[in-house]
Amino acid sequence: MTLDRSQIWTGEVNEAALGVRDAAHVGLYDTTLRDGEQTIGVVLSPDDKLEIARALSDAGVDRIEAGFPRVSADDWRAVELVARAGLRAEVWGFSRAVPADVEALVEIGVGASVIESPISDGKLDALGVDRERMLERIASAVRFATDNGIRVCFFGVDSSRADPEFFTQAYATAVDAGAVEIAVVDTLGIASPEAAALLVERARDAVGPDVPIHWHGHDDFGLATAAAIAAVRAGATWVQGTVNGMGERAGNADLVEVALALEALYGIPTHLDLARARDLSRLVQARAATPLPPWKPVTGDALFTRESGAVAAQFHDPPAIEPYSSALVGARRGIVLGKKSGLDSIRIKVAELGLDVPEEQLPELLAGVKALGTEHRRLVSDDEFRALATKGA
Does residue 295 belong to any structural domain of this protein?
A: no
Predicted confidence (pLDDT) per residue in 247-257, tens digit? 999 999 999 99
Contact 143, 178 (CB under 8 A): yes
Q: What is residue 241's three-state secondary structure?
A: strand
282 and 309 housed in the same domain = no
Contact 154, 174 (CB under 8 A): yes
pLDDT of residue 216: 98
45 and 92 housed in the same domain = yes
- Using CA atoms, how far apart are residues 324 and 319, in angstroms rounded to an integer? 7
The CA angle 332-334-340, to the nearest 5 degrees, is 150
Does residue 299 belong to any structural domain of this protein?
A: no
pLDDT at 213 over 90: yes
pLDDT of residue 126: 96
Q: Which helix (H) or strand (E) holds 102?
A: helix 99-108
What DSSP assignment string belongs to 370-381? HHHHHHHTSPBP
79 and 120 housed in the same domain = yes
pLDDT of residue 390: 87
Range of the domain at 375: 305-392
120: domain CATH number is: 3.20.20.70
- Using CA atoms, how far apart are residues 250 and 193, in angstroms rounded to an integer? 17
Q: What is residue 219's three-state secondary structure?
A: coil
**21: pLDDT confidence band, cut at 50, 70 and 90?**
low
The number of distinct structural domains making up the chain is 2
Examine the fold and report which residue of 255, 288, 321 is the final residue of a domain before the chain moves on.
288
Cβ partners under 8 Å of residue 179, min gap 6: 115, 142, 146, 152, 153, 154, 211
184 and 62 housed in the same domain = yes
Percent of the chain with pLDDT over 90: 95
**393: pLDDT confidence band, cut at 50, 70 and 90?**
low
259 and 350 housed in the same domain = no
**What mean pLDDT value characterizes the chain?**
95
pLDDT at 366 over 60: yes
Which runs of E-coded beta strand occur in 119-167? 151-157
Predicted confidence (pLDDT) per residue in 302-353, tens digit? 999 999 999 999 999 999 999 999 999 999 999 999 999 999 999 999 999 9
**23: pLDDT confidence band, cut at 50, 70 and 90?**
confident
Neighbour-count burial of 359, counting CB atoms closer than 10 A to its CB (0-12 exposed, 13-18 middle, 19+ buried): exposed
Does residue 26 belong to any structural domain of this protein?
A: yes
pLDDT of residue 1: 64
Question: What are the CB-based long-range contacts (under 8 Å, 24+) for 123-129?
Answer: 123/157, 123/158
